[in-house]
């Protein structure tokens, strides 16, 4: 069984690898999957007491992709409902 310090070191390494892959790809599906992986690794570290922040957007973590702007008619349809 791994000791907490060993788990923390491996989780941090996993986050670095996820970040490297995220930066190295332009495939949106892969980037989305990697953001979810980073979030889960963040929560694993949080549960081990290594992270105090509730958001996984700490320095070195994978940042979410910019959202596409909504189509002009999309808001009008949403307001009518």
Could you tell me if residue 46 is inside a domain?
yes
Could you tell me if residue 80 is inside a domain?
no
Q: What is the pLDDT of residue 64?
A: 47
Q: Between these two residues, 71 and 45, which has the higher pLDDT value?
A: 45
Q: What is the pLDDT of residue 70?
A: 57
* Domains contained in the chain, number: 1
Q: Which domain holds residue 36?
A: 4-62
Q: What is the pLDDT of residue 51?
A: 78
- For 20-65, the pLDDT digits (tens) are 999 999 999 999 999 999 999 999 999 999 876 766 654 445 454 4
Could you tell me if residue 37 is inside a domain?
yes
Of 53, 56, 50, the closest CA to residue 8 belongs to 50
Q: Give the torsion through C-alpha atoms of 45, 50, 51, 57, to 10 deg.
A: -50
Could you tell me if residue 17 is inside a domain?
yes
What value does the mean pLDDT take over residues 62-71? 52
Could you tell me if residue 23 is inside a domain?
yes
């Amino acid at each position: 069984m791994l000791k907490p310090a060993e788990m923390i070191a491996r989780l941090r390494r996993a986050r670095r690898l996820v970040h490297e892959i995220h930066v190295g790809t332009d495939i949106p599906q892969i980037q989305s999957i990697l953001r979810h992986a980073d979030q889960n690794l963040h929560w694993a570290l949080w549960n081990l007491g290594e992270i105090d922040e509730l958001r996984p957007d700490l320095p070195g973590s994978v940042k979410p992709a910019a959202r596409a702007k909504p189509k002009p008619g999309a808001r009008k349809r949403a307001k009518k409902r």
